Structure 1
Amino acid sequence: MATDTANKPPAPDSGSQQFGTEGIAPMTRPSRITRVLMGIVAWAEQLNLRYSRVGNPPVYDNATFPWVADIEREWHLIRHELDAVLERQSELPSFQDISADVKTISTDSRWKTFFLTGYGLKSEQNIAACPQTWRIVQKIPGLKTAMFSIFEPGKHLPPHRGPYNGVLRLHLGLIVPEPRDKLAIRVDDQVLHWEEGKALVFDDAYKHEAWNHTDRTRVVLFVDFVKPLHFPASLINWLLLNVAVFTPFIREGLDNHKAWEKRFYTEAEALRNKGH
């Protein structure tokens, strides 16, 4: 008897994706609801591996996602808006100043961000400052997070893994200094090098680390998007990603960003008024 394999989920790729948030400190407010949610997340991660529509490699071939070519085609427009943002680079927030859980892997001021959106929460003023970038990232199916990730000279993120494998990550190279051998990201056992105008797509649920040992700043467009999954994992993933916005850690990050944003744009307005 013939069998229908069209909707059969692919088997998980063999690899070293580990469960649990290695490199990320455990939650310090483990309420009963939080403990239940963490258990659901652990179960969902197994489900996501089993029901992936695109396999589970650490690093993806860009051809897996046809829209990547559209993003790369307009990269120079994003770079132009980035240049304006970097005029006030010293005033941009360090990643851990926005997202406190990042303090377990980064405590200095050499990893800065310029946030556009994350899990349904938007920075309207940052978006207004980068309208072309915002238009371009809207082409990404399942967009969850978009920001500029700014690695200043000497920055090294130690090995760690992301908190959940229901999203994939894209890095679009915008400023990539030489020499090449002093600037890289390692995902699982693959060492990758950014290129200006080129994208890397990887699964941050594999252990990864990144470093900039050059004497110049490296910047990428940092995007998280929903991992394509078969049902029922797709439904569970959608529910978890939409519940995330209500967790104390996401809400705390939003409050931190709003406080920075108010200072940043108030100071910009004061400088404009002083010049008149």
Structure 2
Amino acid sequence: MVPDLNVVSGAPRAGAAMQADPNRPLVIRIGKHLRGVFDRLIAGSSLVSNDPVLDVRDFAWTQALRADWEAIRDEARAVALVGHAAPSLATISPDHRAIAEVDKWRSYFLWGYGYPIDDNLSRCPRTKAAIEAIPGLNSAFFSILAPGTHIPDHRGVTKGLITCHLGLIVPRDGDVRMRVGDRIVRWAEGETLVFDDTYRHEVWNDTDGTRVVLLIQFERPLRQPGKWFADLFLGFVKRSAFVQEARDNVAKWNAAVKQLDV
């Protein structure tokens, strides 16, 4: 039996339009029309490249992830790939309910918009130590993509955040790849990939295996005035009902899974 948080929380099922979600933060709904202006202000203050794919050497802390990747992979296998421990991302995050095939994209949250998920962190101490050393950590979770999944073209919310993937399990019986802007990139086990998710991007898992990465979002290194705009925006989002709902959904899912003795 799979816990159904659409019943537990009263949330709309995957496929409901994001625009119709009243919990979507006002700052995001308004910012959607202004984010080009915000992103240009942030980009002009960036201390690192604004390219779609960034050089991992600009982020020294990624070396520690690569050095400890096998321990992180083993923890992901032990906690996130067992039973129903990792729900679909649509179940947890209202912002992902309109993405096609999102039920095939599962997540085991460790950190969400500045909030630690203590129950999950306690089960993977090596991963906990690794991510807590990341400057400007915003979110971290094991991102699990089922065989044959296509995550269609979409974009992130703000240029104030940068995304890093640490490859943990990458199938080799086909092609698993991501397009970021006009770049095609592929994961490798034990390697990090750093990119700007405000560029349109999409993902394919054209294999018979499951792809697993540690997905991290962290604050873009900025000078003023871009840092002020980025901090203001993220502050609104962290305090919003939108993010609080996602936190509640993680807690409810974990409680339901415990009842099933998974």
Q: In structure 2, which of residues 220, 232, 235 is the aligned counterpart of residue 239 of structure 1?
A: 232
C-alpha distance in structure 2 between counterparts of 1:116 and 1:264, whole Å? 16
Give the structure 2 partner of residue 252 of structure 1. 245
Give % identity. 36
Quote the offset at 1:190 in angstroms. 0.9
The answer to whether 1:92 aligns with 2:76 is no
For 1:211, what is the secondary structure of its paired residue?
strand
Stretches of structure 1 that go unaligned for 5 or more consecutive residues are 1-23, 272-276
Q: In structure 2, which of residues 180, 196, 201 is the aligned counterpart of residue 208 of structure 1?
A: 201
- In structure 2, the CA distance between the partners of 1:233 and 1:95, relative to structure 1 (3 Å rule), is same
Give the structure 2 partner of residue 166 of structure 1. 160
C-alpha distance in structure 2 between counterparts of 1:186 and 1:31, whole Å? 28
For 1:52, what is the secondary structure of its paired residue?
coil
Quote the offset at 1:229 in angstroms. 0.9
Instruction: Tell whether the 8 Å contact from 1:48 to 1:165 is kept in structure 2 after alignment.
Output: yes
TM-score, length of structure 2 as denominator length: 0.86
Instruction: Tell whether the 8 Å contact from 1:96 to 1:106 is kept in structure 2 after alignment.
Output: no
Identify the range of structure 1 (104-113 vs 210-219) with the bigger mean alpha-carbon deviation: 104-113
Which of structures 1 and 2 has the bigger CA Rg? 1
Q: In structure 1, which of residues 165, 175, 194 is the aligned counterpart of residue 169 of structure 2?
A: 175
Instruction: Tell whether the 8 Å contact from 1:182 to 1:212 is kept in structure 2 after alignment.
Output: yes
Instruction: Tell whether the 8 Å contact from 2:72 to 2:127 is kept in structure 1 after alignment.
Output: yes
Aligned length: 245
The residue type equivalent to 1:163 in the other structure is V
Instruction: Tell whether the 8 Å contact from 2:25 to 2:241 is kept in structure 1 after alignment.
Output: no
TM-score, length of structure 1 as denominator length: 0.82
The residue type equivalent to 2:217 in the other structure is D
Q: In structure 2, which of residues 96, 99, 112 is the aligned counterpart of residue 102 of structure 1?
A: 96
Instruction: Tell whether the 8 Å contact from 2:105 to 2:146 is kept in structure 1 after alignment.
Output: yes
The residue type equivalent to 1:206 in the other structure is Y
Structure 1 stretches of 4+ moved >3 Å = 24-43
Q: Give me the CA root mean square deviation.
A: 2.2
Q: Tell me the alpha carbon deviations over residues 221-251 of structure 1, each in whole angstroms, 9 at most, x when there is no partner.
A: 0000001111121122122212211222111
Identify the range of structure 1 (248-257 vs 194-203) with the bigger mean alpha-carbon deviation: 248-257
Instruction: Tell whether the 8 Å contact from 1:119 to 1:242 is kept in structure 2 after alignment.
Output: no
